Amino acid sequence: MEVSGTQMILGLIIGVAILILLVLKTKVHAFIALIIAASVTGIVGGMNPADVVNEITTGFGTTLGSIGIVIGFGVMMGRILEVSGAAERLAYTLIEKLGKHKEEWAMAAAGYVISIPIFVDSAFVILNPLVKALSRKTGKSVVALGVALGIGLAATHHAIPPTPGPLGVAGIFGADIGMMILAGIIFAIPIVIVGVLYAKWIGNKIYQLPNEAGDDFIRPDEKRAYDEFLEAVNERGKELPSFTKSIMPILVPIILIFLNTTLVALNETGVFVTNEIFLSYTQFIGNPIIAVGIGLLIAIYTLSNHLRRSETLDRMEEGIASAGIILLVTGAGGALGNVLRASGAGDYIATQIAQWPVPAILVPFFIATVVRLIQGSGTVAMITGASISAPILVHLDVNLVLAAQAAALGAMIFSYFNDSLFWVVNRMLGIKEVKEQLLVWSVPTTLGWGVSLVMLLLADFVVRLFL
């Protein structure tokens, strides 16, 4: 039976509307909502009901088959980094190396590195005591330091695998993980720079310090003098793992993935033809599953020496428990995307969008933006933006890595009341007034979103010009 383009679009519109309604207004979880939306989209769009079920299961399995194991390894490694103190060590080392009067940059850099393997909410909670200690010792506003940390965490949380959101998006688009990491590293840098500059500005507007006597906060009329903080860093540092041990679980997988991507690309272009057996082993250890698995083993045997075997296993299982729902949501997003492909809605929309004066790279960006504003979860917004736009963009001349970054970074906009990180940041920094809460976290995330938009358009222009 011939299905009209209007019916395909109607199925998509109704499916997405139901998805948004269920997530925003009901008790139905995002995972269930995505499966319902996929079912409605297919049936209303003209597909045979039995085929809809088949496409849902196929899309779910295919998506998780590509990134599910990596997410599992990544969250287990992240949990070990948390409980071992390795995350704190990375932060302290950056403060030492960057020196005095650069604490905002140090906290942003710490967030930039630490949020790659650790969930952003957890990372902020772990490093918040360091923010307070810095504020007490240096006299710098806790708001300036906290916002700088938060924006560093958020930048890589949205851009760099193996953070689950961008990893899931890369899986849905079929984007190369190594190139996704490289692009994320580049895109996150200007976001951090703009975020730190804003953090310094808002820190002057909201000059708040932790109370020396307890967990409350005070707002002195005059700024306190800058004291030396490195002594406290050195004292606390004696209790923590070494910087080398702390960074290796993160650094080794990234190096292996980059090595794989680079050698394969050079070999295919004929620039550097290497031995086939050597290349096959490079591809093996540089596969994201194996590379992150190696990083996890390094973390286990270098950072958990002080833990008993049972404790180490318990910590890793805690990480897996926290990742379970992300795996389900990512798989459900792949299911929705597969239904859109099979229904023909992606083909039809692609032919329409190709005639628009809007760059195709902005399609996943704005879909993720709208979903984030409506329901709050950055990860759900990334996955939804990717799953809806991937079947559309596959027919257009768009770089898949940039498309995946667009879906991930579009979800960064205006974090507010429906986002858990909004409350984590503001509560831990002692910000209670709504206007100040928006200034402290909603504005900097929106600035990051704006920087991402400009960067994506520039990158898309360069790719089209030279590649």
What is the tens place of the pLDDT at every residue in 390-449?
888 877 889 999 999 999 999 999 887 767 788 888 888 888 888 898 899 999 999 999
Per-residue DSSP letter, 300: H
Give the mean pLDDT of the chain: 83
Tell me the domain boundaries of the chain.
5-466
pLDDT tens across 77-111, in order? 877 877 787 877 877 777 777 777 888 998 999 89
What is the C-alpha to C-alpha distance for residues 60 and 63, in angstroms, rounded to an integer? 5
pLDDT at 466 exceeding the cut of 90 = no
Give the model's pLDDT for residue 387: 86
Is 83 in a helix, a strand, or coil?
helix
Tokens at residue 64, please? 């998780």
Q: What pLDDT is stored for residue 304 in this prediction?
A: 80
- The closest alpha carbon to 368, from 357, 359, 378, belongs to 378
* Residue among 369, 446, 377, 402 at smallest CA distance from 120: 377
pLDDT higher than threshold 70 for residue 464: yes
| 410, 385 Cβ separation under 8 angstroms | yes
Percent of residues, the chain, with pLDDT higher than 70: 89
pLDDT at 193: 97
Per-residue pLDDT, 359: 85
Higher pLDDT, 347 or 340: 340
Rounded distance between C-alpha atoms, residue 200 and residue 144, angstroms = 5
Say how far apart CA 185 and CA 386 lie, in whole Å: 20
432-462 burial, b if ≥16 CB within 10 A, otherwise e? eeeebbbbbbbebbbbbbebbbebbbebbee
In this prediction, residue 351 carries a pLDDT of 58
The pLDDT of 183-198, averaged and rounded, is 96
pLDDT band for 201, please (50, 70, 90 cuts): very high
Integer Cα distance of 361 and 366 in angstroms:
9
Helix, strand, coil percentages in the chain from 3-state DSSP, rounded to 5: 75, 0, 20
pLDDT at 353: 59
Question: What is the pLDDT averaged over residues 170-196?
Answer: 93
Higher per-residue pLDDT: 147 or 394: 147
* Region of poorest pLDDT, from 143-157, 201-215, 335-349: 335-349
pLDDT value for 263: 81
**Which of 301-307's residues contact partners 24+ apart within 8 Å by CB, and which partners?**
302/241, 302/245, 302/248, 302/249, 303/80, 303/81, 303/84, 303/86, 303/241, 303/245, 303/246, 303/249, 304/80, 304/83, 304/84, 306/84, 307/83, 307/84
Nearest to 168 by CA among 331, 371, 58, 31: 331
Lowest mean pLDDT among 169-173, 207-211, 240-244, 331-335: 331-335
From CA 331, how far away is CA 342, in angstroms rounded? 17
Is residue 205 a contact partner of residue 147, using CB atoms and an 8 Å limit?
no
User: pLDDT of 245-278, one tens digit each?
Assistant: 888 888 888 788 878 877 876 776 666 667 788 8
Tokens 């980059």 belong to: 258
Report yes or no: 158 and 409 within 8 Å, Cβ to Cβ: yes
CA dist list (Å): 363 to 156, 166, 392: 21, 16, 9
